[in-house]
Structure 1
Amino acid sequence: MGANISGAVADGDGDGPPSTPRLGDIPESCAALVLAQLDPPEICQLSLLNRSFCGASSADFIWESKLPSNYRFIVEKVLGDTTLLNLQKKELYARLCRPIPFDAGTKEVWLDKSTGGVCLSISSKALTITGIDDRRYWSHISTEESRYPTVAYLQQIWWFEVDGELEFQFPAGTYCLFFRLQLGKSSKRLGRRVCNSEHIHGWDIKPARFQLTTSDGQHAVSQCYLDKPGNWVFYHVGDFIVKNPNALTKIKFSLTQIDCTHPKGGLCVDAALIYPSSVGKEFRSSCS
């Protein structure tokens, strides 16, 4: 008798109604409310559970809440393609997670897939670098280790200064700014990565100085010795806070080592990068 009851509970495929509700019985509207509380990767994982979750995972109201508050600014001002606003919000989210070049391809913006946070990069060609046009000091070298086709390579100079600026509409939150740098010039030889350290000198005598200012008066300064030859390092410049998501925030930043008592060289400058603090914390260096 007990065995017959257990079998009846476990078997929901008989002529009568199932004895217990199953996961597949959850209405799409209820599944959508659950998914709305999750992060994008979790939504995509749960969409594989069953038909209800799969259908619910495409609901516009879910993905509208995952898009950053400035997504229309990115679509209209950066991409310049307002037809994208007609896409399902899930499709729009996926599109904005791919790097979007702007300013003649010298900058990129994209969304972090896991959080929807706005990330940006500014290539070496969009930076103002002292002496960059003099090939005795600087050159642009091809690379496969950057988001961009080339990086700026310093052979030797006495006065080292790199400046950049950006004006952008950011969602409210805290952001980290970094310089991505490498001591030495890397290349491939017989299919293996090698790093030429021939010109590396001068960076262990005095620290490099990093600065950041914003249009609303925020200021950050840090110093750091450049090290770890042959490795790309994210040097933390500083953080800034955005309180008004509807306003343009102008950021100015710099990297200098202007002690003219000694030359320095052998440095690759790739880009400056801006990440939401939740994303950027994994890149923080030891600068202080």
Structure 2
Amino acid sequence: MGANISGAVVGGDDSGPSLRPRLDDIPESCAALILAQLNPPEICRLARLNRSFRSASSADFIWESKLPSDYKFIMEKVLLADVTLKNLQKKQLYARLCRPNPFDGGSKEIWLDKNTGGVCLSISSKALTITGIDDRRYWNHISTEESRYPTVAYLQQTWWLEVDGELEFQFPAGTYSLFFRLQLGKSSKRLGRWVCNTEHVHGWDIKPVQFQLTTSDGQHAVSRCHLGSPGIWVLYHVGDFVVKKSNALTKISFSLTQINCTHTKGGLCVDAALIYPSSVGKEAKSCS
């Protein structure tokens, strides 16, 4: 008889509710500890399970751990203490920083990779030093909808190609990859579609372009390749660098050159330089 009573209490019957634990019975504090071990997309998926997980998913301590170690530097120094950021919950701040955030007069952007919280940066062609950029015989800034920025730099023709950039930033510790986003050909919109004119593309198959980066702590990388794939935006890998101290400023200098004056080259669009955590950069390059 005792066994029958015990079975009825645990399993429930038609006349009363089951006493077996349900997902809804998990305390919010326990749900929060579970969520803290997951990445942001997983947190958002579990938040849809029930009220406990939904409430727990907004806990500041969860999202504080997902934000990069330098997020206060980004808020105060890069985004100039944007007042709209100060009163946000950490979850809202994470979502806001995952969007492109322009700075330095709109010539650069910073955002977080939504899956990892890694810091990503973009430096527009207007923030780069381009030899001859003010001479309309060689270069122009052309409007586009294929970039993060309103314009890209377009090279009609030159003997001497030299594009230099520089950035000083407080990166979280880790390995980063730097790319140039380039396209052979000039895009324009016709009948509502973007088409690429490759009429002036020439000279890139004769000698390779050299990419180079150096850091303030002595790291150096050089790569060379011929530019190709007319009509397609390509991320060209300049090199990688390692940040060991999260609280230190790292200065990066980088360049794109083809200064062999035995031939002209032209028909090149320069969009931007991009810096990604290396794991994110591999994915970005495969999608370019």
Q: What TM-score comes out, normalization by structure 2 length?
A: 0.93
Does residue 1:80 correspond to 2:80, yes or no? yes
Q: Which residue of 2 aligns with 1:42?
A: 42
Deviation readout 1:38-58 (Å, 9 max, x if unpaired): 110110010000000001000
Give the fraction of aligned pairs with identical amino acids, expressed as a percent.
80
1:230 aligned partner: 231
Structure 1 residues 157 and 112: alpha-carbon distance in aligned structure 2, compared to 1, 3 A threshold = same
Q: 1:260 to 1:21 in 2, by over 3 A?
A: same
Q: Matched residues in 2 for 1:219 and 1:276: separation?
A: 17
- Offset from partner CA, 1:209-264 (integer Å, 9 cap, x none): 00000000000000011000000000000000001111110000000001100000
Q: 1:10 to 1:229 in 2, by over 3 A?
A: farther
Cα RMSD (Å): 1.9
Secondary structure at the counterpart of residue 246 of structure 1: coil
Q: What residue in structure 1 maps to residue 273 of structure 2?
A: 272
1:193 deviation in Å?
2.2
State the partner residue of 1:33: 33
Give the distance between the partners of 1:283 and 1:100, measured in 2 at CA. Answer: 19
1:200 correspondence with 2:206:
no
Closer, same or farther: CA 223–51 of 1 in aligned 2, 3 Å:
same
Name the residue aligned to 2:69. Answer: 69
Quick check: 1:9 aligned with 2:5? no
Partner Cα separation in structure 1 for residue 119 and residue 53 of structure 2:
27
Structure 1: distance between partners of 2:12 and 2:146: 56
Distance 1:148 1:10, change over 3 A: farther
Q: Cα deviations across residues 5-34 of structure 1 (Å, max 9, x unaligned)?
A: 79x8377x9645x33111111001111111
How far has the Cα of 1:85 moved from its partner?
Answer: 3.5
Give the number of equivalent residue pairs. Answer: 280
Residue correspondence of structure 1 range 94-133 to structure 2 within 5 A = 94-133=95-134
In 2, Cα distance between equivalents of 1:14 and 1:36: 40
Give the corresponding residue for 1:242: 243
Distance in 2 separating the partners of 1:122 and 1:35: 35
- Distance in 2 (CA, whole Å) between partners of 1:148 and 1:10 is 63
* Secondary structure of residue in 2 paired with 1:77: helix
Deviations 1:126-182 (A, max 9, x none): 000010000000000000000000000000000000000000110000000000000
Runs of 4+ in 1 over 6 A off after TM superposition: none
Q: CA deviation at 1:82?
A: 5.9
Q: Deviations over 1:65-96 (max 9, x none)?
A: 00000000010011122642332110111111
The CA distance in 2 between the partners of 1:108 and 1:159, in whole Å, is 29
Output aligned runs, 1:131-146, within 5 Å.
131-146=132-147
In structure 2, distance between residues paired with 1:139 and 1:126: 15
Q: 2: CA distance between counterparts of 1:223 and 1:198? A: 25
Q: Name the residue aligned to 2:58.
A: 58
Q: Which residue matches 1:213?
A: 214
Distance 1:14 1:123 in 2: 70
Where does 1:151-162 land on structure 2 (aligned, <5 Å)? 151-162=152-163
Q: Gaps spanning 5+ residues in structure 1: where?
A: none
CA distance in 2, matches of 1:229, 1:283: 19
